[in-house]
């Protein structure tokens, strides 16, 4: 009579282990709340920005450089008036290649109706560790798209940047 109880326990433990293993192999990470509204995780917004790049009607800008300092991604942009008008959207997906890959989109949106006589240079910083939570890895590729035109800057783990048009 004790034997069926042990079999049920073994079955339950095996099922629990299987479910845990399956949950750990997902290709998307649970988006964590970003530190500010300038950096956010939103798959549908990212998809909308990606598909609207060729018909963008806002203020165009250029990504002049992408670099990393530890877990901080540094995006240098040229265009627009105010720093606060720039934001970054992550699609929330971690591509589980070796090394892993993520995609971000830099976006310029007027938050106030301020017009500049000059075009200015701005720096956007993204704390990847804070954004990605436990999915973060030092050794990863980061793609930074420009929401105003179909141009992506991809930085590899060694810091080399490739521009894709």
Write down the domain spans for the chain.
27-164
Cβ atoms within 10 Å of 17's Cβ, excluding its own: 10
Q: How far apart are CA 123 and CA 64, in angstroms?
A: 10
Per DSSP bridges, beta strands 86-90 and 39-41 are parallel
pLDDT by position in tens, the chain (length 165): 445 545 555 544 444 443 333 333 333 333 333 344 689 999 999 999 999 998 887 778 999 999 999 999 999 999 988 888 899 999 999 999 999 999 999 999 877 776 776 788 999 999 999 999 999 999 999 999 999 999 999 999 999 999 999
Q: What is the pTM of this model?
A: 0.76
End-to-end CA distance of the chain: 69
What span, in angstroms and rounded, lies between the C-alpha atoms of 116 and 61? 14
């Amino acid at each position: 009579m004790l034997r069926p109880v042990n079999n049920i326990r073994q079955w339950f433990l095996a099922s629990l282990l299987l479910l845990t293993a399956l949950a750990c192999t997902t290709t998307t990470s649970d988006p964590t709340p970003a530190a500010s509204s300038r950096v956010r995780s939103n798959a549908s917004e990212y998809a909308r920005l990606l598909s609207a790049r060729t018909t963008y009607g806002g203020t165009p800008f250029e990504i002049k450089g992408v670099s990393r300092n530890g877990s901080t991604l540094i995006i240098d942009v040229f265009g627009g008036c105010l720093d606060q008008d720039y934001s970054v959207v992550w699609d929330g997906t971690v591509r589980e290649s070796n090394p892993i890959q993520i995609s971000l989109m830099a976006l310029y949106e007027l938050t106030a109706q301020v017009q500049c006589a000059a075009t200015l240079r701005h720096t956007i910083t993204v704390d990847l560790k804070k954004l990605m939570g436990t999915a973060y890895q030092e050794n990863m590729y980061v793609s930074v798209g420009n929401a105003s035109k179909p141009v992506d800057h991809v930085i590899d783990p060694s810091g080399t940047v490739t521009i894709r048009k």
